[in-house]
Amino acid sequence: MVITNFSNILEGLSLTEGLNQEELSRFSEVGEFKEVKAESILIKEGETIENLLILLQGEVEIIKSDSKGRQRKVTTQSSGAILGEMELFLERSCQASVKAATPCSLFIFEYKNLETLIDQGDSLVNKIVINLGKIVSRKLENLNHEVINLLNQHDDLLTTIEQSKNLNSKDSLEKTRKDLLKKAEQLRKSQHQVENQLNFLEQQVQQTKLTRKAAGIVIALFAGGFASLFFSHLIGIGLSKMPISSEQELPKPASIPYIKTEERCQKRAGSIWYEGQCWDFFHNKDW
């Protein structure tokens, strides 16, 4: 891929939605473009990364180790995919590896550059962070549908097992049949729990879309021995450009999760450091 105009390449991506040409140009200047060969490891499970990766061209595989250390392909991602955004929000090590399935073109954005823009009071940060919240919400929606489909298939299997109650099994198979029926009942209970949690997740995602705020969501998914997936604190951000009249409710304080120190918090106009977090108490026009 020959790169001739960085800002044009970034235009149209979900992360840069709503950015004008001048903002796209500034954003392209704080990252770098990189070409990688097929089979290259872009992210390694268990390691800490400091970059946000945008896949401009090509296809990558998401790979995770099972309980026995075997590598399992979870899914694939194609052009436009954002990689590493959960590590930015949750400050954790990578939960899966990412390998280039084909030659790929990437835009690499270092987290420290985001902090630089924050310190400069650049309004570009607000749009980028809000878009990241939307991206995470869409991923949670897709997860919702995928897990429901899996549970439906699982339920069909359980029904088939339960129907074996009417079979005249041999004595040598009786114990196995009873064990299967017991496990079927346990798994069905787990399925109901997961469905309730996913319904709650769906409500949170819809609320995020309507209010244009990335909400804090904590989700635990489990279904028998199939999988465990944990999501912690996302990010809540309000963006207002209209003046507040005397009849309107005064704005409530909002935490700023990507400001980690009291010193940086104090440099930001309208922000107060309280109980280990930076809070915006005034909602200035850039926040």
pTM of this structure: 0.51
Domain end point (choices 101, 122, 143): 122
Residues 156 and 53 in one domain: no
User: What secondary structure, in 3-state letters, does the chain show?
Assistant: CCCCCHHHHHCCCHHHCCCCHHHHHHHHHCEEEEEECCCCEEECCCCCCCEEEEEEECEEEEEEECCCCCEEEEEEEECCCEECHHHHHHCCCCCCEEEECCCEEEEEEEHHHHHHHHHCCCCHHHHHHHHHHHHHHHHHHHHHHHHHHHHHHHHHHHHHHHHHHHCCCCHHHHHHHHHHHHHHHHHHHHHHHHHHHHHHHHHHHHHHHHHCCCCCCCEEEECCCCCEEEECCCCCCCCCCCCCCCCCCCCCCEECCCCCCHHHHHHCCCEEEECCEEEECCCCCCC
Does the pLDDT value for residue 42 go beyond 80?
yes
What digits encode the pLDDT tens for the residues 138-159?
A: 777 776 676 776 677 667 666 6
Question: Among all chains, which residue has been given the structure tokens 């500034």?
Answer: 26
Q: Which of 113, 45, 56, 96 is nearest to 79 (CA)?
A: 56
Question: In this structure, is residue 81 part of a structural domain?
Answer: yes
* Residue bearing the bigger pLDDT, 142 or 204: 142
* Residue bearing the bigger pLDDT, 43 or 179: 43
What digits encode the pLDDT tens for the residues 278-287?
A: 877 665 444 4
Residues 21 and 109 in one domain: yes
Mean pLDDT value across residues 110-132: 80
Question: In this structure, is residue 263 part of a structural domain?
Answer: no
Does the pLDDT value for residue 263 go beyond 90?
no
What digits encode the pLDDT tens for the residues 7-32?
A: 667 777 888 888 888 888 888 888 88
Does the pLDDT value for residue 247 go beyond 80?
no
Alpha carbons 239 and 130: distance in angstroms, whole number: 9
Mean pLDDT value across residues 161-179: 61
Residues 70 and 108 in one domain: yes
Domain that holds residue 197: 135-231
Residues 108 and 12 in one domain: yes
Residues 10 and 118 in one domain: yes
Number of domains in the chain: 2
Question: In this structure, is residue 262 part of a structural domain?
Answer: no
Least confident of 19-28, 117-126, 217-226, 255-264: 217-226
Question: In this structure, is residue 268 part of a structural domain?
Answer: no
